Every structure is written in structure tokens, then in C-alpha cells.
Chains A and B, each alone.
Chain A
Amino acid sequence: MGAKRAGIVGVGMTVQRSTRRDVSGVELINEAVRAALDDSGMTRKDIDAIVIGNMDHFEGINYVDTWSVDGSGALGKPIMKMTTGGTTGSTVAMGAYYHVASGMFDRVLAIGWEKNSESDTTGAIITAFDPFWDRPTFGGAVAGLALEATQYMAETGATEEDAAYVAVRDRKNAINNPFAHLRMESNIEAIMSTPYLAWPVKLGDMCPRTDGACAVVFASEDIAGDFPNVPAWVHGVADRHLWGYTSDPYVNQHVKGGTWFPAMERATRELYDKVGITDPLEQFDVAELYLPYSFAGLRYMESLGFCERAGGPALVRSGDTDMGGKCPVNPSGGVLSSNAIGATGLLRVAEVALQVQGRAGDRQVPGAKLGLATGFGGCYWSDELVIGKEKPEKARG
């Protein structure tokens, strides 16, 4: 049996807010699932299997797949939980895709969610790292990301203002997204005037903590015509999860031709080779990238092949990644606007699907046909998916 091509036929997302006290975690999940089922014209009965993910320690509930069955619709169905840090939502998407591509399931529901308001995010992130070598001095994602920002500026000459451009761009885009958390007109001076959290990273450079959920329905090519929406096809996926301690990513930056971020660079190479991408800025119509802080919008663009090393600042300032540019990045507002961690990677996938289906409302990139979605997390881990309007000639892992 050959692998099946799979398409996204339904998307559901909750509004992303700092605190959703009006819903429990199970109810939040249910809100996204109901929206995805409605969007795909299905009921719970039609779903063959469910893949769900969050970061358990943000809510302190370690048995989420079982605890949430009433809300997720998984009662009496195959369910698998995936938890991979910041990449959780993108890993959930890839897991659901693999289920369908295997030929064993026709309709698979992917769910990502988080209620970051229920605990201290930095404390919870610290507990994801090694208790001997990392935790005693670690300051969570903010401190960890600041290390790479320092290195990036020192080695490329990029400035804090260059990074601030990315935060301004994404949050301005979020104004067009009724689901986004931070929706605001800002400017570089305003970002620059926010206090340092961990030099050189300021409050305005960081993503917010968010409560929210997202659900996406993947369907096999055999039945993909049975739904009200034209499918958004998965053209290919790749991921790399390399190295465990917080200092390891710096040791291994230059292995096998790497520059900044070997996991992302290797996933990118594999994925672009499979799908036939040689010039991402020209070939992708849209990108929804997991940029958890502003400097990522410079440095990760280089690892994703959108520009040469040290070319991040010139790329973003050219306007090519703005709405109306060659390849708008994060029309939804991205992670800098909303970060319900377990939902975040799946939202990138959902947003690209809506774009290539032409259903992205006020944030639609006109005529978008091919897009890139990424997940970032863990200790510099990387998930990447290419999603398109056209059906690919074959299924690709």
C-alpha cells in the first residue's frame, strides 16, 4: 500500500486571549473541536482518530489525552498525545498527517491547546530542562533566546531596531486577525522603549502568554472531495530534533555546513529538496513561521533559506515579508501576537491552510497557492510543513 496524499479540510480556532477564565481546559479544547467539525461539515462520529498535544506542566495535568476525551471527542476512539515543547502543535499536525498518509485512517483530528494563564510559564519551561546541568541557572525561553540574539548581533551587526521591525510587522498584521491576542499598531521606538527582560531582549520583543486552542481536520485523498472546503494539501513535512542541553546548539552550529541553527537548516534542506523549493522568497506565497521573539524573524529567515547569512535585517526592511510583499510572513500576527504554546505550531499550519484555500478573511494574501508553516521549540528543535492549493503528485513524508 502506497502512502496516501492528505489534505486539510477543516480548521477551528478559539479566540486567543491572555486569560480565558470562562472555560476549563476541556471546554477550551471543545470550542476549537466544534469549530473544526462545523467547518469540515462533520460530526464527532465521522472522526477516525485523534492526535492531541499541549505541554502538560503548564497546567499540571499529566494525563491530558484521557482527561479531555469529552471535549476532544475522543471518547471510544484511537487517540495519541504528542508533547514536544514549542513544536508541540506542529508535531501534532505532522502526527495527524502521518496517520492519514499511512492509509490506516481517513479522517484525523489534530488538536493543540494551552492555558498558559494557569501557571508561571518561565517556571514551567525551566522544568522541561535537565535538572543537573541546565536548571540551576536557566531563565526559561526568554533567557535562552537572549543568548542567540546576543550572538546574532555580535556576528552580523544586526541591531535591536532591526529586530523590533519584526515585532511591529507581526502585531500590525494581527489587527486583521479577529482571533489574535495582541493586535496593535506599534513602531520601532515604542518597542525600543520597553524594558529589558534579558538583554538584548525586551518586553516588546517577546511573544505573550496566551490561552487558546486550535483543531484541524486532515482527510485522505480518497475522500477529500466529500467536504464543503477545497482541501489544502500537505506537500511535504520534515523535522529535526537535535541535541539536548541548552548550551549544545552553540557547539554544533557549524557541523555539516550549518550556520546558526542546524536543526532548522537540515529540516529545511530535506523539505525543500523533496518539494522542489530553490528560492523560498519567490516560490512561497505566504509563510506562517514560529517566531517566538523578534530576533527570530531575522536569524531564522537565514536558516530557512530566505536570504544569505546576515541578510535578515535587509530582507525584513525591504518589505518583502510585509503584507503586499513577495512572501508575507505571519499574516495572522504570528507567535509574537498569540502564544498558547501547544496550539501555536498547529495555528501556523491552520493559517497556511486558510491562506491557500482563500479563506483567510481580512488577512488573506491574494491568490496564495503555496505556503510554509514551521514550529520551533525544545532545545532548538524544528518542524516544517509545506501546504499548497494544488494536489501534490505524490505523498511525501
Chain B
Amino acid sequence: MAAAEDKKMFLVIESGNVAQPFRWSAGTYGSKFLTEIRDNKKFWGIKCPKCGKVYVPIRSVCGPCYAEMTELVPVSDEGNLITFSVVSFGFVDPSTGKQKPVPYGYAVIKLDGADSYLIHYIDETDPEKLKAGMRVRAVFEEDGKRTGSMMDIKHFELI
């Protein structure tokens, strides 16, 4: 059946511009991490008492050791690029309801002092100019504009 005829015969209803707001808890350590970014532009990780690995993003359980973590340790706002992409297709970001600005550089980053990786924007949209192992640095949102979310980090830039 032709698509036009199909559309005429079979009805759909649209949800419309709906909003279903949520309120998520960051937890004790997630709150500490985001507060330190917001107030002091500082990164903190959390250290496993068994294997000694330092996790960023922060979490309270080391999965492989199944150990509770409580020790916060400072980590750098600089690190290495692990892998990356340049996202160029358009989509609506469900977190904002708005079209995501594309293209954007998207990267897995290992901060100095951390053993796990962070995922964020990288301020470069030419894949030819990006390579695993490159040094990167966090660029923070201006003072007074940081709200306590990962978007308080605008992006990472190549050093």
C-alpha cells in the first residue's frame, strides 16, 4: 500500500508536547562531586579500599570488588583522550526537549589520578585533528552560571 494511502486509512494519535519531569537523587558522593565542580571547579574521585582504583564519575560501590567506597581523593582537570566521535546527526535531547546542537565532539577521557573514565564533549569537530592519547583540559562554565550538573563543565579542550 502506498505510504500516502496508508497514512489516510490508519490513524495515529500524537502525545503532543508532553513533559514528565523527574527529580533524581545524586546521592552523597555524587552530590559532593557536583558541588565541588560548581563551587570550586575541582574534580574529586573515590577510591576502592580493596583494589585501590579511583573512580570518576564517582560512585559508592567498586563493581569488581563489590566493596563500599568512602575515601575521596582529588583528581586533575587534565587528562588523556581515550576514544572519540564527532556526532553530526540531528536528534532531540530528551533531557532538554530541544534539538541537540550538532556537530559536537564526544569523547572518553581519563583524568590524571583517575582509573575510570569520564564521558563529555570535546571542543573539536574535525576527527582528523583528534587522536587517542592527546592531552585535554576541562573548560568550566563561568562563575555564577554553574548549577551543580555535568554541564558546569562546558567541554574539554585540546591542550
Contact = CB atoms under 8 A, between A and B. Distances in A.
Contacts of B6: 19, 21-22
Nearest to A148: B83
Nearest to B125: A199
Nearest to B118: A247
A285 to B, nearest CB: 35
A139 B22 contact: no
Contacts of B84: 147, 150
30 contacts: A22-B6, A60-B15, A120-B91, A124-B94, A126-B94, A131-B22, A132-B24, A132-B26, A132-B57, A133-B150, A135-B94, A136-B151, A137-B120, A137-B121, A139-B87, A139-B100, A142-B87, A143-B85, A146-B87, A147-B85, A150-B85, A151-B82, A151-B132, A197-B87, A197-B88, A197-B89, A247-B108, A250-B117, A251-B115, A252-B64
B10 A22 contact: yes
B12 interface: yes
Interface in B87-125: 87-89, 91-95, 100, 104, 106, 108, 115-121
Nearest to A245: B57
A122 interface: yes
A196 interface: yes
A195 B118 CA distance: 28
Interface of B: 6-7, 9-10, 12, 15, 22, 24, 26, 30, 34, 57, 63-64, 82-89, 91-95, 100, 104, 106, 108, 115-121, 127, 131-132, 149-151
Interface string A235-257: 00000001111111011100100
Given A146-B87, A154-B83, A246-B119, A120 B150 contact: no
A120 B92 contact: yes
Given A150-B83, A246-B119, 4 more contacts: A21-B6, A120-B91, A132-B34, A151-B132
Nearest to A23: B10
A50 B115 CA distance: 43
A200 B85 CA distance: 7
B94 A137 contact: no
A122 B85 contact: no
Contacts of A250: 82-83, 108, 117
A187 interface: no
* Across the A-B interface, the 10 shortest Cβ-Cβ residue pairs: A146-B85, A21-B10, A247-B117, A197-B89, A133-B57, A151-B83, A122-B91, A199-B86, A123-B94, A247-B119
A347 to B, nearest CB: 24
Nearest to B82: A250
B63 A243 contact: yes
Contact of B119 (A133, A140, A198): A133
- Interface-centre pick from A135, A137, A154 (highest chain B CB count, 10 A): A137
Contacts of A242: 63
A201 B85 contact: yes
B91 A123 contact: yes
B7 A21 contact: yes
A66 interface: no
A145 B138 CA distance: 24
A138 B120 CA distance: 8
Interface in A134-175: 134-140, 142-143, 146-151, 154
Contact of A147 (B12, B26, B83, B151): B83
Given A142-B87, A147-B83, A247-B116, A198 B149 contact: no
A15 B51 CA distance: 50
Nearest to B57: A133
A1 B27 CA distance: 45
Interface in A201-255: 201, 242-248, 250-252, 255
Given A131-B24, A136-B149, A199-B127, A143 B10 contact: no
Contacts of B117: 247-248, 250-251
B63 A200 contact: no
Interface in A105-120: 120
